[in-house]
Amino acid sequence: MADRRAPAALVSGDIDDANGSQPDKPERHVHWSQSSDDHEDASSSDESLPLYTPPEANVSRAWANKGRASPRKLWLGLGYRLRSKFMMAMLMLLIPAVFYLTVLWAREQDLNAKWMPDRESLLFSRKPLPAPLERTWISSYKLPLRTQGRNIVDENGHRFKLSSINWYGASDELFVPGGLDIQHRSVIAETIKKMGFNSVRLPYSDELVIKNPVLEPRLVLANPDLEGLRAMDVFEAVTTALTDAGLAVIINNHITSATWCCGADPCDAGWANDHLGPLCRVKQTEEDWIQHWESVMERFVHNPLVIGADLRNEVRGLWGTMPWSKWAAAAEKCGNRLLKMKSDWLIIVEGTESANDVSGALDRPVRLDVENRLVYSAHGYKWSGWGSWQGRFAQRNYKSFVKTMRRNWAYLLDLDIAPVWFGELGAPNDPTVGDARYWKHLLQYLKSIDGDFGYWALNPRKPKNNEKESYSLVHDDWITPVLDYRMKDLQELMRQ
């Protein structure tokens, strides 16, 4: 039988012509395997030999390789798809954000636009200030005062409505109530009374009590009898001038360090700052704070028209970190110490969150040793409410504004629990639309509840650098009232 096995040279492609002639190259030794179809090169493994693949197999393998992606390509593809989805999501978020910011910017532009006084305010500004009502003066009431439900009343149970104004300066850098270089203190007191106010909130700083410096003569130029006196003596003299004019006075501990209130300095955010260690220029414990109060109020024990103590101005913490319960406990301790000095005084406790929020008193009321002596107090300006989702008061509609007032403090009046004195409100004499909106809403609400109030402020100039006070209700001479929309609305509130 003919040998059908092909020579190894033929399989390996070493025969280059049909006649089987050999090329000039080294002879290869071939080992024949037991199988007639298998062979092995003695000098090389099977893997080194070229294999014959039919054309159809090559095509199938090419298509198979084409459909199989490498891991790197898979990751690249996945990353591309994820990036595309992320960019789309960001775009979907960015579009409403840009729209919201555009609307917000447009609204702020509207709020900052100049407000034009209404016809009634213009007419009011062209007429003489109406004479004050004697029935609102404290001399028409039988002292001492006390509380009864939502009202402050006299001995006979007649309501005494606080229509107050703030006269600041003793709480600031110069340690003296403003204007004593321009007018005699008794003239300023009579001006306040002619404007229709029946009471004055008079703030001081703890630093004034600690240092009690001799005042510079230039600061009391129009009051030569005060020259050479210390700050505490001048504070007492101003208080006496107010009460001699028939005005009730509420003393207010405004700030720890003698400076403009109220900034972001944590040293002045509360009644004590000893927990802050060396950070504070003027250091004060809770006991220091109470003793300062005692030093101030001992001068007025025998003055019946010093009717109360506003314990601390605008207690606050960073992002709501001042719990009401902590402040209420401190207020009780201080208030009870003062009531031991004179049990007739009204003890006024402001809310937290810069006096905006008295809601904690519903579940944790302040409890004093003497009954019917507690008055709560709230403050509010156009920027108040800035951390809430409803926005600042300047942005609110009336319904939203009233809802916040009732939740924060007016529930105490609605439920006839205790009086609430809105001890600070104010607006500039040249208002924006936002200023006017806040003011109109607040005055409308105070009129609707016949609320007690304290306007900020009398002063035409701030102590530091003699800066203009845009919230003032008198001109630079300290005797001429500013007759504008604010005075018009306040007159209406006073005369209810």
pLDDT per residue as tens, the chain (496 positions): 444 334 333 333 443 443 444 444 444 443 433 443 444 444 444 444 444 444 444 445 544 455 555 666 666 666 667 777 777 777 777 777 676 556 555 666 789 999 999 999 999 999 999 999 999 999 999 999 999 999 999 999 999 999 999 999 999 999 999 999 999 999 999 999 999 999 999 999 999 999 999 999 999 999 999 999 999 999 999 999 999 999 999 999 999 999 999 878 899 999 999 999 899 999 999 999 999 999 999 999 999 999 999 999 999 987 667 899 999 999 999 999 999 999 999 999 999 999 999 999 999 999 999 999 999 999 999 999 766 767 899 999 999 999 999 999 999 999 999 999 999 999 999 999 999 999 999 999 999 999 999 999 999 999 988 999 999 999 999 999 999 999 999 999 999 9
Q: Contact 280/267 with Cβ under 8 angstroms?
A: yes
Question: Alpha-carbon distance 175 to 213, whole Å?
Answer: 8
Establish if 62 belongs to a structural domain.
no
Does some domain include residue 102? Answer: no
pLDDT at residue number 144 = 98
Strands annotated E in 92-243: 146-148, 151-153, 163-166, 199-205
Residue 229 region by backbone torsions, left for phi larger than 0, else alpha for psi between -120 and 50, else beta: beta
Q: Give yes or no for a contact between 296 and 204, defined as CB atoms under 8 angstroms apart.
A: yes
Q: Residue 392 sits in which domain range?
A: 120-494
Instruction: Give the H/E segment covering residue 435.
Output: helix 433-449
In this structure, are residues 383 and 435 in contact, taking their beta carbons and an 8 Å threshold?
no
Dist CA 93 CA 148 (whole Å): 55
Q: Cα–Cα distances in Å, from 135 out to 138, 139, 308, 455?
A: 8, 9, 21, 20
Q: Is residue 229 part of a domain?
A: yes
- The CATH number of residue 431's host domain is 3.20.20.80
- pLDDT for position 20: 42
User: Angle, nearest 10°, between helix axes 433-449 and 485-494?
Assistant: 10
Distance from C-alpha of 143 to C-alpha of 344, rounded to nearest angstrom: 9
Contacts of 307 (CB under 8 A, 6+ apart): 138, 143, 144, 145, 199, 248, 249, 250, 345, 346
- Kindly give the interhelix angle for 324-341 and 286-297, rounded to the nearest 10 degrees: 30
Supply the DSSP symbol for 28: P
| Domains in the chain, number | 1
Burial code (b: 16+ CB inside 10 Å, e: under 16) for 161-187 equals bbbbbbbbbbbbbbbbbbbbbbbbbbb
Asked if residue 168 belongs to a domain, the reply is yes
**Any domain includes 68:** no
pLDDT number for residue 12: 39
Residue at 81 is within a domain: no
- Helix-helix angle 433-449:71-111, to 10 degrees: 70
Residues with Cβ < 8 Å from 9, sequence gap 6 or more? Answer: 15, 22, 28, 30
Is residue 364, in this structure, part of any structural domain at all? yes
User: Is there a contact between 292 and 206 (Cβ–Cβ < 8 Å)?
Assistant: yes
- Block residue for tokens 């005494």: 160
Is residue 45 domain-resident? no
CA distance 292 to 283: 13
pTM of the model: 0.80
